[in-house]
A and B are shown apart, each in its own frame.
Chain A
C-alpha cells in the first residue's frame, strides 16, 4: 500500500463502519487509559465507547459520584473503588473519615446496572450494603474486599444466600465482626459455581461440615483460603475433595500432629499437582511445613509473612526448594543468610516482600535483615522487578550495587526501621544510594524512601524518575526545595504522600495546577499552615482540600484559629463533584 493511501485511512474512514464493528474493535482495548484516550477522539467514538465500557476503575471514590458514573457508563459490569488514603493503613486516618459503599450500591441498584463484579479497597462496607447488593444484581459473580471494615458475617450470609451465580468471594485483610453465625451454611445446595473463596481474615469459628460440603460441590474451585479455625484434619479432608486447587491458604495446625494425621495430610497434598500458590500458616509448627515438600517445586507464589511462629532455619529449609517461586512474601526472621540462599535457589523471583517480625525491636532482634540480604537478592535474581524491604540499616554502596544489578525495578519500597538513620559505615545520608536507583531504573513507577535524606535525594528523583507515579516520603528533606523538585520534575506523578517532613506552604502553593494532574496529595506532620491550605483551596476550586484534626471539637472553633497554625493532616484530591457531604466533624473541607 503506498503512503498516500495509508495516510488517508483516518478516523473519518473508520466512521463508515457500522457501530458494531467499531465496538468490536474497541473490545480489544482493555486498558483504562487507552479506553479513556479513544473516548476523546470524537463524539461518535465517545458514544460507542461509553456504551461498550464494561469495566471501570475509580481510584478515589470521592473524585466522582455514582450517578455520574452510571450516566456515562450504563452498561457497567465491573467496578473497582478505592476509598481511604493509603496512610489509613497505618492508623493516620480517623476511623470515621469516609469511603462509604452504600451510596454506590444504592445508585447502581436504582440505575438497574447489571453489576457482576465489585472490587473494593479501604472502603466502609455495611451489612445493609451487602444485603442490598445481593438482592439487586442477578448476575453478580465476584466480590473482592481488601482492607475494608464496617460489616459482619451477617453481610456475608446475605451474599452467600442470594447471589446465585457467585464465583468469587475474596476477603483480604478486612476487619470483620465475626458473629459466628452460619454464613457458610447460607450457600444454597444449588450453588456449585464457586471458583475462589477466601475467608482467612475471619477470626471466629467456622462450620467445618458446611465448608466441606461447599467445597465438595464446587468442582471449579481453584482458590481456597481458610481461616485459623480450620484444623489439620479438616484441611486434609478439604484438600482430598479438591485436588484441583491452584491456590491454597492454610489455617491452623496443632503443635504436635499425630503421625497418622500428618501422613494423611501429606498424601492429600501430593494429589494437588496443580497447586501453585500457598499462604496462611498463621499458627503452625515447623514440621507441618514439611508436609508441603512434595509440591514446593511447583509453587510460583509463596506467602509466609504471617507465619510468625516459624524460625528462620525452617523458613530457609522450605524456601530453598521452591525453585520456581516468582512471588515471595516472607518475614525478616529469614535473615541475610536466608536471603542469600533464596538468591541462589530462586532464580525466577520477580517480587519479594520482607516484613518485620518485630517492628519496634522489642526483643533486640539480631536476625533482622540488612543491606547484605538486599544486595544478594539483586545479584542472584535477574527477573526481580518489585521489592518491599523492611530492614535495620542500608548503605549507599549497597543501593548503588543494587541499582547496577537490577535496572528493571518497577516498584522499589525500602523501609529502614529507624527514622533518619544514616549510612552506618559513612554516617552520610542515603541521597546517593536512592539517586543511583532512580537513575538506573528507568521504568520505576513506585518508590518509597527512608533513612537520613536531604533535599538532594529529591533533586535526583525529580531529574531521573520520569515514569514515577507514586512516591512515599517520611522523615526526609530539609526545605521546601525538596518537595518542589519532585512536583516540578516527576511529570507522571499521581500520588504523593508525605509525613513528618519540613515541607511547607511555599512548596504546597508553587504550582496549584499540578494537582489537577494527580489523584491525591497527603501531607501529615509537615510545615503547611491553615492559611496556606485556605489559599490553595481558594485558587483551586476543582480540588477538595481536607484538613483532618485529632480532636473532634467540631468546626465552630475553626474560624477563630490562627492561620499560622500548622495543619495536622492535609489530604487533597481532584474531583468533579465538589465538596463531599459525608465528612465527619474531625474533617474540615476548605
Chain B
C-alpha cells in the first residue's frame, strides 16, 4: 500500500527551491510556520508553492522569525470563546487606536479603543460602560427612538450619524465620537444619509 503512495510522490511535480536536498520525511512533514493566516484564510496555496520543509521560512512569510505566525484555527479554541474571553489581536484591524469620545452634559472627555469592539453591539455596550449608564448604545441601532444621538467625525472632517455604514468602514474612518442630545442634533449640520427615508 505504501509503495503506491511512494510512486505517486515521485511523479508529482514539486516546485522546490533549487539546490535544496529535501528528504522524503521532510517532504511529508509539514511545518506549521508555512501556514499563514492570509485574508482569505487559504493555507494550501502557500504549501504547494513553497518548499515543504519544516523550520524554513517560506518566501511568503513576511513576519520576522521572532514574531509568531498564526495558523488558521489553532489553537483549537472555538470562535465564540475567542471573541468573548481571549485577548485576541485580529489581523484585519489596521491602524486603530484610541478615539476621543465626548458626551453632552459630561464635563470630561473620554478615550476608547475602537479596536476592542467587534461590531456596533460591542461598541454600544462599551459606550454604556464608559459613561456609566445605559441607553447611549441604543442610539446606535435604534436611532430614532432614543434621547441621544451618536455621531462621529470621519477622515474628511464631516460629522456623520453613527450606525449607518458597515462596521469595517466605520472603524476605518472614525476619528472621534460624540454623543449628543437629539434635540441639539437638528441643525448641527450632519451629512445627510445616503438613503431617502
Contacts and interface: CB of A to CB of B under 8 A. Distances in A.
Interface in A319-370: 331, 355-363
A180 interface: yes
B54 A90 contact: no
B35 interface: yes
B31 A420 contact: yes
B193 interface: no
B25 to A, nearest CB: 7
B138 A525 contact: no
A302 to B, nearest CB: 15
A487 to B, nearest CB: 12
B35 A359 contact: no
Given A91-B41, A203-B122, A357 B87 contact: yes
A500 interface: yes
Contact of A550 (B42, B86, B124): B42
A359 B89 contact: no
Nearest to A306: B85
A500 B40 CA distance: 18
Interface stretch (A74-82, A209-217, A270-278, A473-481): A473-481
Contacts of B42: 550-551, 568
A205 B75 CA distance: 32
Contacts of A564: 8, 11-12
A474 B8 CA distance: 24
Contact of A360 (B1, B31, B68, B125): B68
A359 B44 contact: no
A155 interface: no
Given A474-B74, A505-B8, A357 B86 contact: yes
A305 B84 CA distance: 10
B79 interface: yes
B80 A173 contact: yes
A204 interface: yes
Nearest to A526: B30
A510 interface: yes
Given A419-B71, A506-B1, A564-B8, A356 B78 contact: no
Given A415-B76, A478-B28, A205 B48 contact: no
Contact of B77 (A283, A355, A527): A355
B5 A505 contact: yes
Interface in A371-404: 390
Main SS of chain A's interface residues? loop
Contact of A229 (B41, B82, B85, B125): B125
Contacts of B29: 478, 502
Given A203-B125, A502-B28, A87 B73 contact: yes
A23 interface: no
B48 A504 contact: no
Given A481-B2, A566-B48, A90 B76 contact: yes
Contacts of B141: 179-180, 204
Interface in B1-28: 1-2, 4-5, 8, 11-12, 25, 28
Contact of A420 (B28, B41, B54, B137): B54
A205 B47 CA distance: 45
A441 to B, nearest CB: 21
Interface in B119-172: 119, 121-122, 124-125, 129, 132, 134, 137-138, 141-142
B63 interface: no
A208 to B, nearest CB: 9
B76 A89 contact: yes
Contacts of A356: 75, 77, 86
A419 B72 CA distance: 12
Contacts of A525: 30, 35, 43-44, 47
B86 A308 contact: yes
A390 B78 CA distance: 13
B79 to A, nearest CB: 6
Contacts of B54: 420
Contact of A147 (B43, B48, B78): B78
Given A356-B77, A420-B54, A475-B32, A550 B40 contact: yes
Interface of B: 1-2, 4-5, 8, 11-12, 25, 28-32, 35, 40-44, 47-48, 54, 68, 70-82, 84-89, 119, 121-122, 124-125, 129, 132, 134, 137-138, 141-142
10 contacts: A201-B80, A204-B121, A229-B134, A306-B81, A306-B85, A360-B70, A420-B54, A474-B74, A506-B4, A550-B41
* A-B interface, 3 closest residue pairs, ranked by CB to CB distance from nearest: A90-B73, A89-B78, A502-B28
Given A252-B129, A419-B71, 8 more contacts: A91-B79, A175-B80, A180-B138, A205-B134, A305-B81, A358-B86, A481-B2, A525-B30
Interface of A: 87, 89-92, 147, 173-175, 178-180, 201, 203-205, 228-229, 231, 252, 254, 282-283, 305-308, 331, 355-363, 390, 415, 417, 419-420, 448, 472, 474-475, 478-481, 484, 499-500, 502, 504-506, 509-510, 525, 527, 529, 550-551, 564, 566, 568
